[in-house]
Structure 1
Amino acid sequence: MPSPFPGMDPYLEHPALWPGLHSRLIVGLADDLGPLLRPRYYVEVEERVYLLTPEGTFPFPARPDVMVATAPGVGPSTPVRSILAGGARIVEIPVPEEVRERYLVVREAGTHQVVTWLELLSPANKIPGEGRQVYLRKREEVLRSRVHLVEIDLLRAGEPMPVMGDGRDGHYRILISRWEQRPRALLYVFTVRDPI
């Protein structure tokens, strides 16, 4: 059965589905753009890596931070005091997790200089914490340069990226910022009912 949504299917935003979809979209965009831009430009999938602690409220952990295994003869009804000795307490340790986010860059073939930076936002970019701060710093760096920015936001949850003007009336956004036209940029805003 075809999807009832003409554009973005909101069920794809589910935490179990989004990471795989994000990767496939990035690679698919690279595969589609490459032949259109050759021979003058080429497209690369690049990756940014940072550490995120549990306080960063990243909703898509790659693995659990704590795993509890039950010892033989110990069940959920066994009092904790009978397991611990010497006044020890059970605590949790914040374990940083390595987060990898992929994005695209378009480079000029002769000079290998980046001419366009294309970002498909992830949940970590849209919620308070280290992921958003890392992304906003990189975004500011790009906006101060002679690099075009294409920012695709296909996630309803979280805080949209900052823009000045009318940009909050839809579910999804695509921002196109040509360096020579800044601070003006094009913002396409659409809902689950609209085709992309």
Structure 2
Amino acid sequence: MPSPFPGMNPCLEHPDFWPEVHNRLIVAIADSLTPEVRPKYEVAIEKRVYELNDTNTDSLLVGVPDLAVKRQSQTSERLPSERLQSESVPSNVAVAHSTTQKITVTLPLPEVVRQAYLEVREITTRSVVTVIEVLSPVNKRAGEGREIYLKKRQRVLGSLTNLVEIDLLRGWQPMPILGEDIQSDYRVLVSDQKHRPNAELYPFNLRDRLPSFSIPLRSEDVEPMLNLQELFTTIDDRAGYDYRINYENYLSELVPPLTESEQSWVQELLQQ
């Protein structure tokens, strides 16, 4: 059964599905482009490794003095002297009593995130001609992961390498561009190094089909077209998302949530 959505299925942005969708899309793009660019180029799947520190405010920060354990969710009745002592310290500090008992705490261990991306390389010289990125939450969320990605993005934009950036996540701030403040749910950026600082932006929304666009190579090459909608339809069919997604559950957990208008539109689609 095909997807009820004309373009992007917002439920596939959910953490239960997105890592799989990301990997399937990377492989599908590589498989689609390889016959179009060989024998001059290869389309290689590369992996970037992020080691991120947990900055969740509910966690204990290692090595910082005067920070104590996670706030206890339940409090018990105390003697007046104990209440006075408790009120004299910050609420997130566990007070040690005369009879010390252990408390289970959570430490911010580094989180290792592996993310695949594509490089179109010239076979004879091994030089990277085009980088193709499919953004994930680690790239878009404010914090260390976004900073790492933006530094790599700037290195590519300052080089002779082309960049294709595919953003199929409605959440978080999109990657920066100069000029107009263009609002859209999703977007594809195609930066041909020959035309910088100008680039092609394909903004689209939940109700739209996914775009088709050309992949920049060298100036003397014919640029292959990438039909993103066709690839996504194939991925959706092969992965069997039609029977794996409980729309009632996942639509209520979307981040950001759908607007009232979008919710009505989605319900109409699901009833067809």
**Is the shorter-chain TM-score for this pair beyond 0.5, marking a shared fold?**
yes
For 1:123 and 1:51, how far apart are their aligned partners in 2? 14
**Percent of pairs identical after alignment?**
53
1:155 corresponds, among 162, 169, 192, to 169
Runs (4 or more) in structure 1 with deviation over 4 Å come to: none
1:119 corresponds, among 112, 133, 146, to 133
Q: Which amino acid aligns with 1:32?
A: S
Asked whether 1:10 is paired with 2:24, we answer: no
**Match in the other structure for 2:183:** 169
Q: Name the stretch that deviates more: 162-171 or 143-152.
A: 162-171
The structure having more radius of gyration, on CA atoms, is 2
Higher strand share: 1
**Match in the other structure for 1:23:** 23
For 2:129 and 2:187, how far apart are their aligned partners in 1? 21
TM-fit CA distance, 1:92:
1.6
Aligned length: 172
Residue pair 1:56, 1:130 contacting (<8 A) in 2 also: no
For 1:12 and 1:151, how far apart are their aligned partners in 2? 18
**Match in the other structure for 2:117:** 103
Scaled by the length of structure 1, what TM-score is found? Answer: 0.82
**Match in the other structure for 2:88:** none
Secondary structure of 2:4's match?
coil
For 1:90 and 1:170, how far apart are their aligned partners in 2? 44
Higher helix share: 2
TM-fit CA distance, 1:134:
0.9
Offset from partner CA, 1:54-95 (integer Å, 9 cap, x none): 2179xxxxxxxxxxxxxxxxxxx9x9xxxxx73544322101
**Match in the other structure for 1:60:** none
Where does structure 2 lack aligned partners over 5 or more consecutive residues? 58-73, 77-98, 211-272
Alignment of 1:77-92 (within 5 A): 86-92=100-106
**Match in the other structure for 2:108:** 94
RMSD of aligned alpha carbons: 2.0
Secondary structure of 2:184's match?
coil
